[in-house]
Amino acid sequence: MRADTRAGQPAAPLPPMARVAALDVLRGLALLGILLMNLEGFAGPPAQMGTGIDPAWRGLDRWADAAIYVLVQGKFVALFSLLFGAGFAAMAARAEGEGWPLSQVWLRRCIGLLLIGLAHALLLWSGDILVTYALCGLVLLAFREVLGGLLAWVGAGVFLIPAGVSLLAGLAEPALAGSAQWQHALQAQAAHVAEVTRAQVLAYGHGDFAMATAQRLRDLGQSLSVLPITGAQVLGLFLIGPWLGQVLARPQAHARALAWMRQGALPLGLGMTLVSVWLAPWIAPGRADLRAGLAAALMLAASLPLCLGYIGWTLRWLAHPASARLAGLLAAAGRLALSNYLLQSLVCVGVFYGYGMGAFGLGRAWQVALGFGLFALQLLVSRWWLARAAMGPAEWLLRAAAYARAPGRRAS
């Protein structure tokens, strides 16, 4: 790309007035969804996150668990990932137009994000996503010359890799059922998850900070060991993100795509999710039969169309004047997305962990109520903060790392 070689104005963050408002609103919504999803891993062992509707819950707790699993699980991480890819495309376009080195700025940004993610994963919560984003973000540089519609199809294929692996495992199970080695591997996997679950309950629910940090280090190692699979889904969404950025920047020119997102993608994703729940509402560790494999594949794949449906309806909602007040609050939270994400972890660790208030094991319905309450406070605090400062503290650190100079702190 010529922006890496020709002289031009120095790289600088995008001024607040030049931001696409819909992007910030969607980031705000993604923050709420990620909080509601992550609460399961704050109030309980992270090893049991995303496995389905926990059969141990009863009554209102079970309904809350089911609602989060069907409507939230994976969908808002997908949204954040799409927006990350859209942000990369916007930065690449600015670098081309303004003549500053994209590769250097993006590399520094990813390194800064990696350091923040490592601190988050080791000092706060092992369910961190920033390390994965930073490592997958480095791969985006290889695609900076081919951003657009074709790349979105490539991204869709990469995104479906984890779903394909789950489906293949289910298809292979009948042929492997008689294998003693296969059965031993499944039993070993179930035993390993049970052991990790016990260790997490002890460290996070009852341990001190040192004990929890040691467990977080072990959890980080486990997360990195499966990065080739989990990272494929994230990278695929990154590659689709530039297409979404074009849609959000010019919604009138993409009316047909937005109509399909609302009327096609949303029911498709919801239908896939419901079929997944019907096949296997909860997938126990070590289970690898065809029914479980298909259920896992459908749940993984459904996060993209359901997420696109949410985006389509959000843009329709934003077209109504009545949305202005709430949209402004969501946009403020979205502009501070990184700081708010880290703050959510800080508050939840303080509430749930043994060295905090010790609410580990709180009922699922109370988790959801707490999530909405915390997010409502974040909306108000974000608006208050941006009236006094241009960006959040985490955003300031990341932009200082990316652009190799301290950005302005004062509000515009």
pLDDT in tens, the chain (412 residues): 344 444 455 555 544 444 568 899 999 999 999 999 999 999 999 999 988 999 999 999 999 999 999 999 999 999 999 999 999 988 888 888 888 888 899 999 999 999 999 999 999 999 999 999 999 999 998 887 776 678 899 999 999 999 999 999 888 888 887 788 888 888 898 999 999 999 999 999 999 999 999 999 999 999 999 999 999 999 999 999 999 999 988 888 999 999 999 999 999 999 999 999 999 999 988 888 899 999 999 999 999 999 999 999 999 999 888 888 999 999 999 999 999 999 999 999 999 999 999 999 999 999 999 999 999 999 999 999 999 998 999 999 999 999 888 877 666 5
How would DSSP label each residue in 250-271?
-GGGGHHHHHHIIIIIHHHHHH
At residue 20, the pLDDT reads 63
pLDDT at res. 11? 57
pLDDT of residue 249: 87
The confidence score (pLDDT) of residue 373 equals 97
Q: What is the model's pLDDT at position 10?
A: 58
Q: Say how far apart CA 279 and CA 277 lie, in whole Å.
A: 5
pLDDT at 177: 76
HSE on the CB side for 183, CA within 13 Å? 6
Q: What are the structural domain ranges in the chain? A: 2-403
Report helix, strand or coil for 274: helix
Q: Which residues contact 11 (CB under 8 A, 6 or more apart)?
A: 95, 98, 100, 101, 105, 402, 403
- Tell me, what's the pLDDT at 357? 96
pLDDT of residue 411: 60
Given this model, what pLDDT does residue 100 score? 81
Structure tokens at 370: 């707490």
The string of DSSP codes covering 24-82 is: HHHHHHHHHHHHHHHHHHHHS-GGGTTSBS-TT--HHHHHHHHHHHHHTTTHHHHHHHH
Instruction: Tell me the C-alpha distance between 32 and 9, whole Å.
Output: 37
pLDDT the model gives residue 179: 81
Half-sphere exposure of 240 (CA within 13 A, CB side): 22
